[in-house]
Every structure is written in structure tokens, then in C-alpha cells.
Amino acid sequence: MSSSSAVAGQGGAAWLARRPLVKQQLMLLLGLVIIVGAFEILNVGFLSADNVSSILQDSTETILLAFGETLVIITGGIDISVGATLGLSGILGSLVLVNVNQGGAGLGAFPSLLLGVLAALAVGFVIGLANGLMVTKAKVTPFIATLAMLGVATGLTFVLTNGVDVSGMSPSIATWGNHVFLGILTLPILVTAILGILVGLFLHCARFGRWTFAIGSNARAARGAGIPVQRHLLKIYVLAGLLSAVSGVLVFMRLGTGSPLEGANDELNAIAAVVIGGASLFGGTGTILGSLLGALIIGVIVNGLIVAGIQPYWQTVIIGVIIAVAVMMQERGRARD
């Protein structure tokens, strides 16, 4: 069999493997509707335009992390450094923005923001590259490699800030990050939607996606078919880092400050969203739409608990239970197969 035929076969097998996910995503959509309906009954006004916008705005953080996590998990890996990457990217971006704006450089709010965004993206790129090199070159397991980067990024975040928020941004930054248009849309929501479409097209309609699924299904066969497995994995981890950095930028634009606490434990929500969305922790399956629905379910539940006055500590408990249930359901499905 030729290399091209083998790759096509891998891609076809991947698509066949994902067909059952269509039914699962319909179930997720139904579940999301039921959860929203239940909260609307319990809290009249839950579906108001303001609250829907708030849910979507708050969910962008998890959604972007989940998009990157989806790519990694499909390859059979995992990235538990995405939350810490968000935090460090946001902090460094905030520091650059504030220092440039207050340093007498004569730059306005937008040029300062642009430099802050570039600094944040550079952090995401470096962390993603470091993760990828450890996994591909040093042959460190993804969990251990990204655990190490989680520690490094979290430590640097507090070293740079001494645990204090980065303040002093131009008020217009928060205005841009929270301005609502067309009733419910904001800049973070729009950016997240655009990136979701782009990542989804690359994953499900391009060679990039076929290679990603092939590696997750059988890395050895993918390598034999001529797929540059190590180089592709490196790209995957870099993309996960960059998406985390974008999330960090959107967070400080929403808050108007850089918080060293942002991103803490967000990897749990991201992984939960991906698993709820139907991706297998063993690799080879997953969709961007499924991860989006999983993140929205988490966002609706968190918002509903807050509106209901339930202590925020229960949010982590509930998300942990959701992950356990989703994984057990996956295992039952694998056993039936």
C-alpha cells in the first residue's frame, strides 16, 4: 500500500470512528437545553439577554482552552499546563501594556494593547514549544511534561507579580473587552467564535486534522504512512499554548487588570469540556463542536449555581463528578465495542 493510500485509510477510519459522536453531540445539545430550561424555571430571567451574554463571555476562557486541549487529547496526549499558560500570558501581557503605557513612550491605548498581545502570544508560543519538545525530543510523557510547565508558569506568574494584581491599564481596554453589541455579543465572544471556526475547519476539513486523528489512533502506523509525527505533535502543543495565550489576553481585557490567580485550575474545566464533548482520553476521537458544547454546559452550570446562591466551592466538586461520569460512560462504550 502506498503512503498516500495509507494516509487516506487512516483519515477514513478516523471519520468512521467519529460518526457515533454525532449522536452524542445531539444528546449534549439536548442536555444543554434541559439544563438551561431547569435553571430558567428555578431562576426566572436566567435566559435574559444580559445573563446569556454573561454566560458566553465567562465561558470564552474555558472554550479557548478546550479547543487547544481537544487537539492534544485527540493525539493521545494531555496538556495540564493550559491554565497556567493563560495566567502567565495574561500577566506578562498586562505588564508590557501597563509599562509601555506609563513609560512615557507616547503610545496610545491601542498600540500598547498590541504590544501586550504580542508579549502574551510569545509566552504561549514558548510554553507550547517547550511542552512539544519535551514530548517529542526528550520523550517525556505528556502528563509529566505539562505538569512541569504548569509549575514553571505558575511560579513565574507569582514571581513577576508578588501575588498582586497588575493595575494601571487604560480604562478603554476594559471598555473594549466588555462592550456589548447586537444584544449579547462582545469582543471575547466574537474572537472565540472566529477561532473556533478556524480550528474546526483545520481539524475536520484539512490534512492537519487527518494527521491529528491518525496519530491519536495509531502513532506507529501514522509514522509508517509518512506522517511527520514529531513535527506535527510539536505544532499541536504550540497551538494549545497560543490558544491559552489568547484566552489570557481576553481575560485581562475583560477585567481591566492582570490577576495572578487567573487560570488557576482552569485546566480541569478544559479537560472536562473535552471529555464531556466526546473526546477519548486514549486519543483518536474528538470534535471542536463537542468541546464547545461541553464548555457551554460547564458555563451554564457554574452560572446557574452562582445565581442560585450555591457556594463556589461546590463548582469544582460538580465538575469533578461530571468528568468521572463522562469517563465511565466512555469506558462502557469501549467495552461494548
What is the secondary structure of 8-56 as a DSSP string? HHHHHHHHHHHHHHHHHHHHHHHHHHHHHHHHHHHSTTTTSHHHHHHHH
Residue pLDDT, tens place only, 155-178: 999 999 998 999 888 888 888 988
Q: How far apart are CA 316 and CA 83, in angstroms?
A: 15
What pLDDT is stored for residue 14 in this prediction? 45
HSE-CB at 120 with a 13 A cutoff on CA atoms is 29
Whether the per-residue pLDDT at 17 is higher than 60: the answer is: no
Closest CA to 135 of 124, 148, 118: 148
Of the pLDDT bands very low, low, confident and very high (cuts 50, 70, 90), residue 331 is low
What pLDDT is stored for residue 111 in this prediction? 87
Whether the per-residue pLDDT at 7 is higher than 60: the answer is: no
Whether the per-residue pLDDT at 123 is higher than 70: the answer is: yes
Closest CA to 177 of 93, 238, 261, 294: 93
What are the beta bridge partners of residue 258?
A: 166
Q: Alpha-carbon torsion 153, 92, 123, 269, what sign?
A: positive
Judge whether 121 and 246 are in contact, CB under 8 Å: yes
Q: Alpha-carbon torsion 20, 21, 26, 32, what sign?
A: positive
Q: How far apart are CA 274 and CA 287, in angstroms?
A: 8
The predicted model gives 50-55 an average pLDDT of 91
- Number of residues in the chain: 337
Q: How far apart are CA 120 and CA 128, in angstroms?
A: 12
Closest CA to 82 of 93, 72, 69: 69
What pLDDT is stored for residue 321 in this prediction? 82
The predicted model gives 49-74 an average pLDDT of 95
Judge whether 335 and 282 are in contact, CB under 8 Å: no
Which has more pLDDT, 304 or 234? Answer: 234
Of the pLDDT bands very low, low, confident and very high (cuts 50, 70, 90), residue 106 is low
Residue in the block written with cell 496519530: 215
Domain 3-332 class, CATH top level: mainly alpha
Residue pLDDT, tens place only, 188-221: 999 999 999 999 999 999 999 999 999 999 999 9
Least confident of 55-59, 86-90, 96-100, 293-297: 96-100
The phi and psi torsions of 280 (rounded to 5 degrees) equal -90, 135
